[in-house]
Structure 1
Amino acid sequence: MKQEFIEIKGARENNLKNVSLRIPKRKITVFTGVSGSGKSSIVFETIGAEAQRLLNETFSTFIRNRLPKYGQPDADSIENLSTAIVIDQKRLGGNSRSTVGTITDIYAVLRLLFSRIGKPFIGYSNVFSFNDPSGMCPECNGLGETVKLNLDKFLDKSKSLNEGAILFPAFSVGSWYLNTYLYSGLFDNDKKLGDYTETEWETLLHGKSKKVPMMHDNLPINGKFEGLVDKFNRMYIQRDTSVLSESVRATLERFIAFAPCPLCKGTRLSQAALSCRINGYNIAELTHLQIDELIRIIAEIDDPIAVSMTSALIMRLQHLVDIGLEYLSLDRETSSLSGGESQRIKMVRHLGSSLTDMIYIFDEPSIGLHPRDVHRLNELLMQLRDKGNTILVVEHDPEVIGIADHIVDVGPQAGVHGGEVVYEGTVAGLAQAKTLTGRFLSQKLPLKPEFRKATGQLIISNAVLHNLKNVTVSIPRGVFTAVTGVAGSGKSSLINGIFVKQYPEAIIIDQSAVSTSIRSNPATYTGVMDDIRKLFAKENGVSPSLFSFNSKGACPNCQGTGFIFTDLAFLEPVKTICETCNGKRFKEEVLEYKLKGKSITEVLEMTAEEAVDFFEKKDLKRKLQAIHDVGLDYLTLGQPLSTLSGGECQRIKLASNLHKEGSIYVLDEPTTGLHMSDTGHLLEIMNRLVDGGNSVIVIEHNLDVIRNADWVIDMGPEGGKKGGEVIFTGTPADLLHDPGSLTGRYLAAQLKTEGELRS
């Protein structure tokens, strides 16, 4: 068959410099290059966005209005596209009603199985759903736990309503919610809550929702009275809290109490559903098993009626095993999955599909995978390709790069210094290319020759969380510690779940999003914006607030966003550059004020690299240098943080914390999104922190990082129930000779390949 190509001409998204490409269809093409070089601009914002935009155009206007909006990429032409499926690192999220079983549709097949051969017969498959009124536990409404308002923390009975007896911020003195109680005429607003009669207390907490004549300054106001507990439950407990902001959710946690449902014992299901069994197991018991255990139980079902259902279950469950998620259970909430686990769950949903000639786009699928499991990922990518699909992968891992049929290396550097294709061809050709990726593809950092000595111990005692089996371990102070192990072995439970609660002073640097607001950028997040505004104010003798697009300096037409949304009713809304400020976000008069010949907008358009040279103030220069040091020198100071990847989010957090005085730093897979050439730079930063008297603890799979730690804590031996134990503690040199450690085995094999370890 003649080779077909996706053809791109003149792509200019973000930093791309008129890129033209021919990408072979039905092959695996891996896009490489340093962070910020333009890989994602080609794959996601050009190919992916255009494929999804064209697909959406095939639907009616009514449907399009309810689909995600994709603008037309800035390119001369993009031809020969197929339907694209983007499998990114965004966490699946969701609330407690979304589980591994429901998101993969495996639970739907399991429910069908129980409705056909379960004994006693209690009804159709919907009676086994905790998201259906006929199947959910009536006590907890299918949530598996009771969530109650903690009145002791919610109310101060020594105060009156006027004195602020309601401690929840939304009901503070002067708020609308409190006023509905103050002006209801039902209470003596100066009476201490502790002096209320039983009737008054019942009315305050559980008074029925009704309209009451409310007066304020002798004027009637519209209001509806509802008891405090009922209102709180309706507003916060009986809704999907995932839609609430992070700060609101954090506040809520202080005022509510969780407990397993006393009726269903956390299974979420009705007693009828729990009474139905197959081979002695009810459906909740099966979903609580690890996936590799569940396969064995399903395989033992020999009822002829169940053959089609059990074969479908085994096939789908095996996909989860193949991709390294055998340690999960079907009742695991999707909100608790990491970005890497979420991405692999999304992959599984497509493995059983009969569709062919699709474009599958992956964003660093090796994230969160131990070196032992990368080969499983590669097999799945090849399986998707061999079904006749085009696979596009953005990746830094040499093992994944190694299976590519075609390589596109983007660079030569990041940001304004990138945006070009510096190599196209085979993997073998890349290894000989004089690009950063080519030079570092086979280059590994040497094993650390000397290891620091601990200055003390950070003790974790009898840790029991998730799969941790009464773990007691000492983490040495004043050194660089790597916590390793296969996915699901208990690394995150030990460090993020137990350690950071025992040592709340630790500075946590994970990969969660730093902001979803277009108004937040590297300058505001790292604190340099305050310094910049003060410098402009001092230079020009005006107020610092003039130099904020969130305050007095904002363009009045676009309120400081730089663009205008025009609602076209049934058509897609149009986003246009603000005609008043031309996208600069500030009032015209603000731009007349200069600092060293530059306006505030021109300063925000500088990259961190340029800003380090521009400013002279020592404290400001130090903060900017931190952005540069974590490998984000290509970011402009004004780039919205909502456009950053998970790895970039983590590094901007690291940059904002480098100038703080802490004693313990905890980093969760800091090499995520990091090019091979930057790993040594990251190690320099961590070593500098340790040399400054800090303790650095890193959860990591990257063997270059592990071999340069002072101390290793290896979890395992496997994931899930087969993990949760500390199987090794010691230096990387000692780890090489531990026969029970998978990490040690892979590290030794790599060193042997490089000739650094002699047998």
Structure 2
Amino acid sequence: MPQKQGIRIVGARVHNLKDVTLTLPESKITVFVGVSGSGKSSIVFDTVAVESQRQLNASYSWFIRNQLPKYERPQADAIEGLTTAVIVDQQPIGGNSRSTVGTITDVAPVLRALFARHAEPTTGLVSSYSFNDPRGMCPECEGMGRTVQPDVERMLDKSKSLNGGAILLPTYKVGTPDWQILAGDSRLDADKVLRKYTKDEWHTLLHGTGGKVEVKTKNATIKINYEGLVDKFVRLNLKRDTSTLSEKTRDAIQQFMSEGLCPLCHGARLSQETLNSRIDGRNIAEMSGLSIDELVPVLAKLDSPIAETARTALERISGMGLGYLTLDRPTVTLSGGEGQRLKMVRHLGSTLTHLTYIFDEPSVGLHPRDVGRLNELLRGLRDKGNTVLVVEHDPDVIDIADHVVEVGPEAGVHGGEIVFEGTVAALAKAATRTATALAERGAVKKTFRKAGGQLSITDADLHNLKNVSVDIPTGVLTAVTGVAGSGKTSLISGVFAAQHPTATFVDQGPITASSRSNPATYLELMDGIRKLFAKASGQPEALFSFNSKGACEECQGRGVIITEIAFMDPVTTHCETCHGRRFKESVLEHQLRGKSIADVLELPVSEAVGFFTEKALKPKLQGLVDVGLGYLTLGQPLSTLSGGERQRIKLATQLHKTSSVYVLDEPTTGLHMSDVGTLMALLNRIVDDGNTVVVIEHNLDVVRQADWVIDLGPDGGAGGGEVVFTGTPKQLLANKKSVTGEYLRKYVG
């Protein structure tokens, strides 16, 4: 039997890679490790994945290829042994208000087919069971389940009469024509306090019709048809194109409206005809509102191959520990860990073999308990005969690798080399950053800062939270923990953010990255830098921008020439006119302290801190150094940075804000184990400066170093939403009810 060759890469030079040559074994799990920015993603995604997709697209006809994304051939001497790549990246699921667990997992279409075939009475049309189709959506809310409605409590002061100014709408001030229509109606007593109105008077005031009212203006007296306050507000503001209104008017209207359940479908999103269609006593909205674990036995009772298909898909989701979710749950409300597992579960039912599955940090957002389920998935894909490539920092994922590749030794220009290849056992004996970090397991803190006060969260009931009330201590570092779906994000990013709006939040949202954006533009340093050059040279500021007058005319400030021809893959070449520096030669003649604008953009941040002494620039540059990104150059395109580097750039933008409370959502995302120490030093410095820091985090290396822990659970979804534990990490070690405590005990040994 011929030996399996695997994927062979020869002389890869993408981004910071330095003529990398390696072979990735076939039908094995290969985990890529190394510090953030070392070049892992450049190998796995920008070389292997891109070339696989490029060659696969080349197998289609020209007509189809023209409809597909175009990929440029990666810079490498050879890439051999490729198979079709299935890519599971770490981008959040996102979606909009119409995207649900049912739609993202493709179970919703199966459920619609089930109702079209077997419901009583059935409409016979699959589309009529969809809230995204005009034939099925509720006509009142157009399938959203919620509507914007006038808020009477905001419109009226019930302690006053109409003559006393009870109507708070700006166009209804006492004496105005709008006010006269209501106050002049014979059915209403304008001197009577509103809270004493009878039921009939309330109806007349809000929804009344009929009769004419005399209204006096400056020039005349006219008679106008009576129209209730709410009915007129709806007609003028909700049943018309509000884009014709000025922004000031729209803002004024907004304060008198609130969002609530649709009064017609009560949140079900569907038309009344569709909701009257039932299977086993339930309509499709009621079935979608059951948890997945509840829905599986309901479908098992039905004698239908369609029901069997839906049940099988749901069992896969439940097997990933997500049985508490409902199919109608909006995807925008999912935690990072839930989103990651839903993306992966799509591939569980595939019977295709000899594929290459590529995962980008699949453990992001997962509690240590949930990583075990992830590992089962990775092994299952491998055992079907597939090659699995994983970019990862989590020790538990690294531990299941058949083959490990470490890229480094450092990040950026100091990385891009293969520093280790081999088994996990061999890695433990190597002298690399990852091997050293794996060997180091610290203990929990012995001394803890004392709180100076507290920030209270009261009666939190968002999503699965069960009227949670908890205090966050001030002046200390607090870690909020719990399994995926336990309610951490709902509690902190949802309720705490609403109750304490002055806090500074650094979330998991991706930053916009393009070939024209760089650290200097993202940190809003370029305006200040251009002003300095303009002042020193007497030239206009626009001359020192590669997006404006200073741009090289040949490459339009890109530094490269991108040739795109129909039916051809794009080709990128170095601009020979500006030599990749992006500016006209005449611009580079103007200097600041002996350096041109191009020289400045080529400075590493660690050197730029010393070059720029200006107060408007130095603190922001120091922020990049503080988060461990001193090796980046000011002009390096953000599109070339790793996910971990982008997350830290976002953190750097928040460090020097005038805030006393910082909230970070999983700040270790994309960080190598050895970089966690740098992050902790930064967080401790922020706290020592008199601030409060709250981190939503799974990383046990962070949890053990916190002053206070708030653990949610005990499980996810309906099984969570409660505070399981509050106290120090030392006290958490002794707690037998906390899942986090169980894994922390294992971590510290």
The two structures have a TM-score, normalised by structure 1, of 0.83
Q: 1:246 — aligned with what?
A: none
Hey, what's the Cα distance between the residues in 1 that align with 2:320 and 2:603?
42
- TM superposition shift of 1:63: 1.7
Cα separation, 2, equivalents of 1:150 and 1:62: 54
Residue pairs, 1:657-668, within 5 angstroms = 657-668=654-665
- Aligned residue for 2:400, secondary structure, equals coil
Residue 293 of structure 1, CA deviation: 2.4
Q: 1:231 & 1:555 partners in 2: Cα distance?
A: 45
Shift of 1:229: 6.2
Q: What is the total number of aligned residue pairs between the two structures?
A: 679
Secondary structure of the structure 2 residue equivalent to 1:465: coil
Do the aligned residues in 2 keep the contact of 1:89 with 1:342 (CA within 8 Å)? no
- What SS is found at the alignment partner of 2:505? strand
Once residues 117 and 296 of structure 1 are traced to their aligned partners in structure 2, the CA distance between those partners, rounded to angstroms, is: 17
- In 2, the alpha carbon distance for the partners of 1:101 and 1:116 equals 19
CA distance in 2, matches of 1:291, 1:670: 31
Cα separation, 2, equivalents of 1:281 and 1:393? 43
**Structure 2 counterpart SS, 1:277:** coil
Q: Per-residue deviation at 1:744?
A: 0.8
Residues 639 and 738 (structure 1), Cα distance of their counterparts in 2 relative to 1, 3 Å cut? same
Please report how far the alpha carbon of residue 344 of structure 1 lies from its aligned counterpart in structure 2 after TM superposition: 2.0
Deviations 1:77-129 (A, max 9, x none): 00010000110011223323322111211112222222333333332433322
Residues 650 and 510 of structure 1: CA distance in aligned 2, closer, same or farther (over 3 Å): farther
Could you tell me how far apart the structure 1 residues matched to 2:671 and 2:222 are?
61
Task: Give the equivalent residue in structure 2 for 1:733.
Answer: 730
Note the alpha carbon deviations across 1:421-467, whole angstroms, 9 max, x for none. 00000000011110000111131232111000000110111112111
SS in 1 for 2:285: helix
Indicate the residue corresponding to 1:476 in structure 2.
473
Distance 1:384 1:341 in 2: 20
How far is 1:231 from its partner?
4.1
Aligned to 1:350, the other structure's residue is in SS state coil
Task: Provide the secondary structure at the position in 1 that maps to 2:439.
Answer: coil
- Report the equivalent of 1:276: 277
Contact 2:71 2:570 in 1 (8 A): no
- Report the residue type matching 1:138 in the other structure: P
Please give the alpha-carbon distance, in whole angstroms, between the structure 2 residues aligned to 1:538 and 1:514.
32
Given that 2:145 and 2:268 are in contact with CA atoms closer than 8 Å, whether structure 1 keeps it comes out as yes
Task: Identify the residue that residue 60 of structure 2 maps to in structure 1.
Answer: 59
**Of 318, 321, 346, the match for 1:321:** 318
After superposition, the Cα gap between the structure-2 partners of 1:150 and 1:653, relative to the gap in structure 1 and judged at 3 Å, is farther
Aligned partner of 2:31 in structure 1 is 30
Which of the numbers 386, 401, 404 marks the counterpart of 1:407?
404
Quote how far apart the aligned CAs of 1:506 are. Answer: 0.8
Counterpart code for 1:32: V
Partner SS state of residue 498, structure 1: helix
User: How much has 1:470 moved relative to structure 2?
Assistant: 0.9
Structure 1 residues 247-266: aligned runs within 5 Å = 258-266=259-267
- Residue 449 in structure 1 maps to residue 446 in structure 2: yes
Residues 272-291 of structure 1: CA deviation (Å, up to 9, x unaligned): 22222233322111211222
> Is 1:91 equivalent to 2:99 in the alignment?
no
Change (3 A) 1:198 1:389: farther
Q: Write out per-residue CA displacement over residues 400-431 of structure 1, whole angstroms, 9 at most, x where no aligned residue.
A: 00000000000000000000000000000011
CA offsets 1:333-367 (integer angstroms, 9 cap, x no match): 22333444333222111110111110100000001
Distance 1:197 1:680, change over 3 A: farther
Shift, 1:50, TM fit: 0.4
Is the contact between residue 604 and residue 636 of structure 1 (CA under 8 Å) also seen in structure 2?
A: yes
> For the residues of structure 1 that align with 2:251 and 2:713, how far apart are their CA atoms?
32
Contact 1:127 1:273 in 2 (8 A): yes
Deviation at 1:539, TM superposition (A): 3.8
Partner in structure 2 of residue 586 of structure 1: 583
Q: Which residue of 1 aligns with 2:162?
A: none
Partners of 2:4 and 2:627 lie apart in 1 by 42
Does residue 502 of the first structure (1) align with residue 502 of the second (2)? no
Give 5+ residue unaligned stretches, structure 1: 160-190, 207-225, 236-248, 754-759
Is structure 2 residue 134 aligned with structure 1 residue 133? yes
Q: How does 1:568-579 map to 2 (within 5 A)?
A: 568-569=565-566, 571=568
Cα contact 1:135–1:270 (8 A) shared by 2: yes
Distance 2:580 2:459 in 1: 56
Cα RMSD (Å) of the superposition? 3.3
2:555 and 2:19 map into 1 onto residues whose CA distance is 30
Shift in alpha-carbon separation, 1:553–1:197, aligned structure 2, 3 A: farther
Residues 98 and 228 (structure 1 numbering): CA distance in 2 closer, same or farther, change over 3 Å? closer
What corresponds to 2:714 in structure 1?
Answer: 717
Question: Could you say which residue in structure 2 is the equivalent of 1:394?
Answer: 391
Q: Distance in 2 between matches of 1:549 and 1:250?
A: 38
Distance 2:53 2:251 in 1: 36
Alpha-carbon displacement from aligned partner over 1:557-615 (angstroms, at most 9, x marks no partner): 55544455556355556655556544433233211122343321122123323433544
Please list, as runs of the form range in 1=range in 2, the aligned pairs for 1:610-629 lying within 5 A after superposition. Answer: 610-617=607-614, 620-629=617-626
Correspondence for 1:119: 120
Q: Which letter does structure 2 place at the counterpart of 1:52?
A: Q
CA distance in 2, matches of 1:606, 1:253: 48
Matched, 1:289 2:290: yes
Mapped to 2, the partners of 1:530 and 1:445 lie a distance apart of: 44
Q: Which moved more, 1:63-72 or 1:257-266?
A: 257-266
Is 2:666 the counterpart of 1:669?
yes
Q: Distance in 2 between matches of 1:413 and 1:272?
A: 63
Residue 332 (1) aligns with residue 329 (2):
yes
Which shows bigger deviation, 522-531 or 432-441?
522-531
Deviation at 1:551, TM superposition (A): 4.1
> Percent same amino acid among aligned pairs?
60
Q: Residue 61 of structure 1 contacts residue 571 of structure 1 at CA under 8 Å; is this kept in 2?
A: no
Contact 2:73 2:569 survives alignment (8 Å)? no
Could you say which residue in structure 1 is the equivalent of 2:183?
none
**Amino acid corresponding to residue 474 of structure 1 in structure 2:** D
| SS of the residue 1:30 aligns to | strand
Aligned-partner Cα distance in 1 for 2:170–2:51: 57
Kindly indicate whether the alpha-carbon contact (under 8 Å) linking 2:428 and 2:435 is maintained by their aligned counterparts in 1.
yes
Matches within 5 A, 1:701-716: 701-716=698-713
The offset of 1:644, in angstroms, is 4.0
**DSSP 3-state at the match of 1:628:** helix
Provide closer, same or farther for how the CA distance between residues 551 and 197 of structure 1 changes in structure 2, counting only shifts above 3 A.
farther
Are the equivalent residues in 2 in contact too, given 1:111–1:129 (CA < 8 A)?
A: yes
The one-letter code sitting in structure 1 at the alignment partner of 2:482 is G
Aligned residues of 1:32 and 1:396 also touching (Cα < 8 A): yes
Rounded to whole Å, the distance in 2 between the matches of 1:348 and 1:125 is 25
Does 1:101 find its partner at 2:102?
Answer: yes
Residue 552 of structure 1: CA displacement?
A: 3.9
Query: For 1:196 and 1:575, how far apart are their aligned partners in 2?
Result: 73
Secondary structure, aligned partner of 1:324: helix
1:167 aligns to what? none
- Aligned letter for 2:647? Q
- Indicate if the aligned counterparts of 1:509 and 1:650 stay in contact, CA closer than 8 A: no
Describe the shift of the 1:196–1:73 C-alpha distance in structure 2 as closer, same or farther (beyond 3 A): farther
Change (3 A) 1:749 1:543: same
8 Å CA contact 1:490, 1:715 repeated in 2: yes
Inter-CA distance 442–284: structure 2 relative to 1 (3 Å threshold): farther
SS of corresponding position for 2:346: helix
Q: Could you give the per-residue CA deviations for residues 720-751 of structure 1, whole angstroms, max 9, x where no partner exists?
A: 11111111111111111112111111112222
* Contact 1:527-1:656 within 8 A present in 2 as well: no
Deviates more, 1:142-151 or 1:354-363: 142-151
